[in-house]
Amino acid sequence: MSLLGLPLAGAAPQPVAVRATDPLGPRLLGWPTSRAAAAVVVLFAVSAVLSGASVGRTALLAMLPFAALTAIVAVGQTLVVQQAGLDLSVAGGISLGALVVARYGDAAQWGLGTAIAVALAATLLAGLVSGLVVTAFGLPPLVVTIAVNAVLIGLVQFLSGGYSAQAPPALTEFAVGRTLGVPHLVLVAAVVIVAAQLVLKGTVVGRRFELVGANRLAAHAAGINTRRYTISAYALSALLAGGAGVLLAGFLRTTTSSAGDAYLLPSVAAVVLGGTALTGGRGSLTGTALGALFLGQLTQLVQTYTQTTAVQNIVQSVIIGVGIVVQLSIATRLRRRAIRRNPT
């Protein structure tokens, strides 16, 4: 990693360098996004063989909105993981965002626009609290975000009184709608991913953000305010979780206090399947999006064989675990090969 073209000593290991002279296979495997894309292609091919209905137009249109919601949450999770953290409060953020817009978004209450603004502001504040506590006190991110999640869930239960809420019709109309045959949630996810990717890879702020995650000490020595970037990661993660909750409320039409639980582990799995290292540094938002698509299709395939939730969870967990192990194993092998080839 370098800043303004100058190498920084002690930088954390970066993704495997890919040479133009390398064979095509190793070159493709050297890119985390390529590995995630290959996994998606294989899964869809297997799905077509095992259950053709799972890759039909109706099935895909039913699966894509949920994959899009997972991708939105996972983009925020990727930013936190790049800072060598983990945000376990996204479930509470989704549930709070969904409840606020469903309970208070009606014209007789706050109105849809105000309710969305409040939902996003509340989750953004929760993310700022997480980031501030992690950076100011040096507490483990898992402990901090679990505590923040408990507060958010408690707030959801207090506001809801244990009852579900109905989303405003205008929000539902947007969330379940399509443009040119493409679900609106997929379009929103695409905008979020493209915008985040452009900022992360194409701006000075994005390059500094990656530097802070890769080597905090080197970034601090270069005069970068490392706390600011870490706090912003948690804030953006919470904001995206709240936004996903708003969209989820519209898509499901009703919401409960546990609406966000189904997106916590998938958001982490999508990040790892997409090739972002849990140790921080560089990440692949495109890979994360592909990871979310992989998880969405996997769920679709499993559900064609069994409707038993316990069996679905077991099968999905095993396949996700294998996928993560394969992803990490390939990355480790390629890195070792690169080190042997160029030990300096």
What is the spatial distance between Cα 244 and Cα 96, in angstroms, rounded to a whole number?
10
Q: Are 74 and 288 in contact (CB under 8 A)?
A: yes
What is the spatial distance between Cα 130 and Cα 30, in angstroms, rounded to a whole number?
34
What is the spatial distance between Cα 245 and Cα 330, in angstroms, rounded to a whole number?
35
pTM, two decimals, is 0.88
Kind of pairing, strands 254-255 and 6-7? unpaired
Tokens of 236: 């953006």
H-state helical runs in 56-183: 57-82, 90-104, 112-137, 141-160, 169-176
Q: Which CATH number fits domain 51-305: 1.10.3470, 1.10.600, 2.30.30, 1.10.238?
A: 1.10.3470
Q: Please indicate whether residue 97 or residue 17 has the higher confidence score (pLDDT).
A: 97
Ranges of each domain in the chain: 51-305
What is the mean pLDDT of the segment spanning 239-248? 98
What confidence category does residue 318 fall into, taking pLDDT thresholds of 50, 70 and 90?
confident
* pLDDT tens digits for range 90-116: 999 999 999 999 999 999 999 999 999
DSSP string, 226-240: HHHHHHHHHHHHHHH
